[in-house]
Amino acid sequence: MATFVLSDLHLNPERPRSTDAFVKFLRGPARAAAAIYLLGDLVEYWVGDDMLDIEKPEFVAALHDLSDTGTAIYLMHGNRDFLMGDRFAQATGCQYIPDPYVVDLCGEKTLLMHGDTLCSDDVEYQKFRLQVRDPAWQKAFLQKSYADRIAMARSARTESVRHTAEQPEYIMDVSQPAVDAAMRAAGVHRLIHGHTHRPGHHRFMLDGSPAERIVLGDWYKTASALRIDEQGITFIALD
Ligand code: MN
């Protein structure tokens, strides 16, 4: 049975095509899968589980229906959706997995990550990440009004676009020493991540053995997933 890995869908009511493609995937090919892994940034922003009542995202029911059919749905937080909590998990049937996470995918021990922690040359971003992952910061944020939280999420997004545009290309990509260290610590020769929006399949040597790093693409212009089965790994288009 196949396993699908997806990342960086950045679902947003402003881009209904991505949501449509995702729902079609959940109601179609995903049904035949043993499991799907969502590696973060499922939505453009998530300001708390009360978004379930206010925005009523269409994909929530489709995720729940899929989990009811027996396909396991594993969800890793990214830098846009780290405030998805217990209510979101209940409403969708998703099970959270930590970042990093090691799993056997069709016989190959594989490290799954969102990817932002690998961008260790981006010191400004890593400082921001530490702040927003602090439980005290999150508690204070969740106590703000819905309108204030949305305004803060939008301004963080604008700030991130500005930051990305200002940095040299290499700063915004993963650092190879960080990749090597993460793979070494996990004892793997295969890493799958998203976040950088630079899809690719990189092969290199790690401590004298062949290793690979597969980077998932984002869903801003196209929709894609990684399909893994006994035959191997393929990128598939979903739109
Ligand atoms: Mn990200």
Interval between CA 221 and ligand 1 midpoint (Å): 16
Question: Does residue 13 have a cis bond before it (omega within 30 degrees)?
Answer: no
Rounded CA separation 131/81 (Å): 15
Interval between CA 228 and ligand 1 midpoint (Å): 22
Q: How confident is the model at residue 208 (pLDDT cuts 50, 70, 90)?
A: very high
Interval between CA 80 and ligand 1 midpoint (Å): 6
Interval between CA 199 and ligand 1 midpoint (Å): 13
The torsion region of residue 40 among left (phi > 0), alpha (psi -120 to 50) and beta comes to: left
Interval between CA 108 and ligand 1 midpoint (Å): 25
Interval between CA 39 and ligand 1 midpoint (Å): 9
Residue 79 near residue 161 (C-beta atoms within 8 A): no
pLDDT of residue 74: 98
pLDDT of residue 65: 98
Q: How confident is the model at residue 196 (pLDDT cuts 50, 70, 90)?
A: very high
Rounded CA separation 137/77 (Å): 17
pLDDT of residue 239: 86
Q: How confident is the model at residue 59 (pLDDT cuts 50, 70, 90)?
A: very high
CATH class of 2-237: alpha beta
pLDDT digits (tens, 9 = 90+) for 140-187: 999 999 999 999 999 999 999 999 999 888 888 999 999 999 999 999
Structure tokens at 190: 């295969």
Interval between CA 208 and ligand 1 midpoint (Å): 31
Interval between CA 78 and ligand 1 midpoint (Å): 5
Interval between CA 77 and ligand 1 midpoint (Å): 9
Interval between CA 83 and ligand 1 midpoint (Å): 13
pLDDT digits (tens, 9 = 90+) for 114-147: 999 999 999 999 999 999 999 999 999 999 999 9
Q: Where are the domains of the chain?
A: 2-237
Rounded average pLDDT over 93-98 = 98
Closest CA to 62 of 38, 93, 97: 93
Interval between CA 193 and ligand 1 midpoint (Å): 10
In the predicted model, is pLDDT for residue 50 greater than 90?
Answer: yes
Interval between CA 34 and ligand 1 midpoint (Å): 25
Rounded CA separation 35/72 (Å): 5
Rounded average pLDDT over 58-69 = 97
pLDDT of residue 170: 86
Interval between CA 194 and ligand 1 midpoint (Å): 7
Interval between CA 6 and ligand 1 midpoint (Å): 12
Instruction: Tell me the pLDDT of the chain averaged across its residues.
Output: 96
Percent of the chain with pLDDT over 90: 95
Interval between CA 64 and ligand 1 midpoint (Å): 24
pLDDT of residue 223: 96
Interval between CA 41 and ligand 1 midpoint (Å): 5
